[in-house]
Structure formats: structure tokens, C-alpha cells
Amino acid sequence: MSVSSRTIGQRFLIRAMGLLRWMVMIFIYGLLCYALLASVSAIIPIEAEASDKSQPMYDVHLLKSGPHTDFLVKVKTEVHDWSLDFPYSNNANPDTSLQWLAIGWGDKNFYMNTPTWADLTVSTAVAAATGLGTAGIHASYYYSVPSDRPIIRLQLSQNQYNRLCHYISQSLVADETGKRVMLKPLMQGVNFDHDRYYDAHGRYSMIHTCNTWINNGLKASGQRACLWTGFAEGIFYQYGQ
């Protein structure tokens, strides 16, 4: 190899290393900005509207499972019957005595391919963080309100609960007959006896996470919420937890 060829190669390597350093710096700077934005916007409240106490009131819970938050609602009320959207018969154990339903939104690929955090792959994480995938809704039935995890109890007026039901319903995909589209897991261990996944609108990303979806639902139903949050901690902070 000639001296000139070695010189060109060295220059290319130096430039490539310089570009890599800039890319790493931009990535770290982006993460820091994201963390700052998430922290500041999570502590800025959107105040709850006044509830009309003359209307019937409905219990809605915010259920925290690790980094994820669900709405926990009664399966059947005068406002909405969720068993029509998520039929008991779809469950492995179609027990109709289950009276509570947890509803959460998230990345479809993560739901279908990640039974446990140990199963999470780099490709799934990158796709979820960047909005490359589509969304799903996880519907889990319970006999009673769980007591084994952080939970917040809210009381919504009939009008507010109707708006929350509309918000959730608008997130669900329906087929040509109007039925919700149940998803089939790609791995064992994704579904259990009393839960199933359904197709949903939207795309999961670092900007619009499962907790952002919950926060937007709180806003839609006139409840206290964060200005914006991507994390469960932001929502629970607004309720003193």
C-alpha cells in the first residue's frame, strides 16, 4: 500500500470516528432533552373540571403495573357494556362472574412478542420507541379491584364516564361487521385465562406511550391530568402518589 493510500484511509477513519462521536452526542443530548421535557410537563397539571353531583357517579381506577397504566372499569353499567367489545367468550376461561375490566393501550408488536421483559429484543424496543409499529389494546378481566399494586380511585359523573367510554371506543379497530378485532399472539405465554388483545388505532412511540394514552383519556373525561407525560409516575404524581 502506498503512502498516499494509507493517508486517505487514515483521514477517512478520523472523519468516521468524528461523525460517530457527533451521533453519540446528539443521541445523548436528545435523551437529556426528552427527560427534561418529560419531567417538567409531568408536573404541570391540567385541572379537573367540576363534576355534576346530580348525575349518577361511576368508579374508574388507574391501575399501575410496573411502567404501564390501565383504566379499570366496571364491565357493565348503564353507560356502556364492555363485554360487547371484549366478549367473555374470547377468553380461555369465559367466566362471566368477572366484574372488573382493565383496559390498556400499547405497542402491538411488544404485546404479541414479549411475554416477559426477558423476551424484549432490540428490534422490538427500537420499533416501539420510534413509532414504526402499530397499536393494540389489552383487555384483562378481574373478579375485584386488585390490591397488589398502586391504584387510584376516581369518581366520574355520567357525562364524564360517557366521554371516557367514547375515547376508549374510538381507539379500537372494528371490522366490517362492527366487531372488535382480536389479535392472535405470536408466542406462548402472552395470554392468560382472562385476558385478550385487540387491534387499535395509533402508533406507540416515545412521544405517545401507553401512559400518554391514559393521560389523554383523563383529559377527555375532564379529570386531573399532566400537561403531557410518557410515564406512569407523571400520572400518579398528579394524584399525590
Residue 25 has a pLDDT of 67
**% residues pLDDT > 90 (the chain):** 66
Which of 145, 61, 55, 147 is CA-nearest to residue 104? 61
In this prediction, residues 32-60 reach a mean pLDDT of: 86
Among 49-53, 126-130, 170-174, 176-180, where is mean pLDDT lowest?
126-130
pTM of the full structure: 0.87
Where exactly are the structural domains of the chain? 45-238
Of 52 and 33, the structure prediction assigns the larger pLDDT to 52
> Coil, strand or helix: which one is 127?
helix
Q: Is the pLDDT of residue 123 over 80?
A: no
∠ CA 170-237-154, nearest 5°, is 50
Side chain identity at 133, as an amino acid letter?
Answer: G
Q: What are 161-216's pLDDT values in tens digits?
A: 999 999 999 999 999 999 999 998 878 888 999 999 999 999 999 999 999 999 99
Of 2 and 166, the structure prediction assigns the larger pLDDT to 166
Q: Identify which of 11-20, 35-44, 187-196, 217-226 has the greatest average pLDDT.
A: 217-226
Question: Residue 237 has which C-alpha cell?
Answer: 404524581
Please, are residues 111 and 138 in contact by the beta-carbon 8 Å criterion? yes
Of 178 and 113, the structure prediction assigns the larger pLDDT to 178
In this prediction, residues 98-102 reach a mean pLDDT of: 98
What band does 81 get if pLDDT is binned at 50, 70 and 90? very high
Q: What is the mean pLDDT of the chain?
A: 89
Question: Residue 170 has which C-alpha cell?
Answer: 374510538
Of 12 and 182, the structure prediction assigns the larger pLDDT to 182
Euclidean distance between CA atoms 188 and 199, whole angstroms: 19
What band does 113 get if pLDDT is binned at 50, 70 and 90? confident
Task: Tell me how far apart the terminal alpha carbons of the chain are, to the nearest angstrom.
Answer: 67
Please, are residues 239 and 151 in contact by the beta-carbon 8 Å criterion? no
Residue 71 has a pLDDT of 98
∠ CA 203-89-204, nearest 5°, is 10
Residue 30 has a pLDDT of 56
Q: Which residues are bridge partners to 105 per DSSP? A: 137
Backbone phi, then psi, for 108, in 5-degree steps?
-65, -45
